[in-house]
Amino acid sequence: MSDPNALLLKANLKQLKLPTMLAEHDQLAREATARNEAYEAYLLRLTEAEVATRTANAIAARIRVAAFPVVKELDTFDFTATPSVPKQTVLELARGGWIEQRRNCCLIGGSGVGKTHLATGIGLALCRLGKRVRFVTAAGLVTELEEAHHQHRLDRTLATLDRLDLLIVDELGYLSFSRSGAELLFQVFADRYERRSLLITSNLPFGEWGTVFQGERMTAALLDRLTHQCDILELTGESYRFRESMQAKQVKTAKTTKPSKAKK
């Protein structure tokens, strides 16, 4: 430790902001000596460690900024439980080619069928590929836009949204908006057309979107843009939540009826 070279090296690594190399160089140097490794191999190992932590930190930051409500990965999605969802299409969406092509994706289906889970899983995979993603609910986004509008900073909010590679808008259709709210949402969707991707989840079939966007003309214009280059996945079947709670109930009932059967 008292070696002046070692102290200078530590100071340099600190100044150059290489914290992983600072933490690991001693240990890696000992290993390199033991293996009689070339200088270049040691340097490579050391820089690899720094690059690996930086990559991991960048991914963690992207996931934080994306603001997913819960972290749900695609590998916990049971495709056999929701056979209407084509697994290959979902895995393809997770590979991100559609983001480069500025395409959109719509997940349509009733409550509890796995729309939010899939949207989150795809979003997480894209964060890991270095994409800038943000998850919002439709209601949350409209509130944010309305507040920005009232505080005369709508342009800034729109510019921030515009920098995202993917905007995930969850739960479109659960609430309808005021005319001005619907217009603001329309503006965001229309701005992204052929420039940036959108992933929308909705419990409403397209034919009923007029109730959210108030007015056939705005709805038609919006759907025209949104679905022009779009993967549309329709999720059918029973709610996964409902099925799980029914199963839990059945297990409970089976457990409570067992002892009485045993008495007989």
Q: Does 114 bind ligand ADP (CB under 6 A)?
A: yes
Of 30-38, 74-82, 172-180, 207-215, the window that binds ligand ADP (rule: CB under 6 A) is: 74-82
Q: Which of 94, 99, 112, 169 binds ligand ADP (CB under 6 A)?
A: 112
Q: How far is CA 158 from the centre of its chain?
A: 20
Q: Residue 232 has what DSSP assignment? A: E
Which residue, 176 or 229, is less far from Mg ion as judged by CB? 176
Report the C-alpha gap between 133 and 67 in whole angstroms. 9
Cβ proximity to ligand ADP: between 112 and 181 the closer is: 112
Cα–Cα distance, 199 to 213 (Å, whole number) = 17
Q: Indicate the helix (H) or strand (E) that contains 116.
A: helix 115-128
Which segment (29-37, 76-84, 186-194, 224-232) binds ligand ADP by CB under 6 A?
Answer: 76-84
- Site map for ligand ADP, 19-58, x if CB under 6 A? ----------------------------------------
Give the one residue of 20, 104, 116, 157 binding ligand ADP; rule: CB under 6 A: 116
**Non-local CB neighbours of 214 within 8 Å, separated by 6+ positions:** 176, 177, 179, 182
What ranges make up the beta strands (E) of the chain?
104-109, 133-137, 166-172, 197-202, 230-235
Of 26, 78, 147, 238, the residue at the interface with ligand ADP (CB under 6 A) is 78
- Asked if residue 127 lies in contact with residue 66, where contact means CB atoms within 8 angstroms, the answer is yes
Taking CB under 6 A as the rule, does residue 202 contact ligand ADP? no
- Edge-to-edge strands of the sheet including 197-202? 133-137, 166-172, 197-202, 104-109, 230-235
Name the residue with the smallest CB distance to ligand ADP. Answer: 114
Candidates 82, 116, 157, 219: give the one binding Mg ion (CB under 5 A). Answer: 116
The residues, ordered by sequence, that sit 6+ positions from 201 with a Cβ below 8 Å of its Cβ are: 106, 107, 108, 115, 116, 119, 168, 169, 170, 171, 172
3-state secondary structure of 148: helix
CB of 245 to ligand ADP, least distance (A): 10
Decide if residue 122 touches ligand ADP (CB under 6 A): no
Among 98, 99, 105, 115, interactor with ligand ADP by CB under 6 A: 115
Q: Given the complex with Mg ion, which of 116 and 157 has the nearer CB atom? A: 116
Nearer to Mg ion, 135 or 186 (CB): 135
Least distance (Å) from Mg ion to the CB of residue 170? 6
CA distance 130 to 128: 5
Binding interface with ligand ADP (CB under 6 A): 72, 76-78, 81-82, 109, 111-117, 240-241
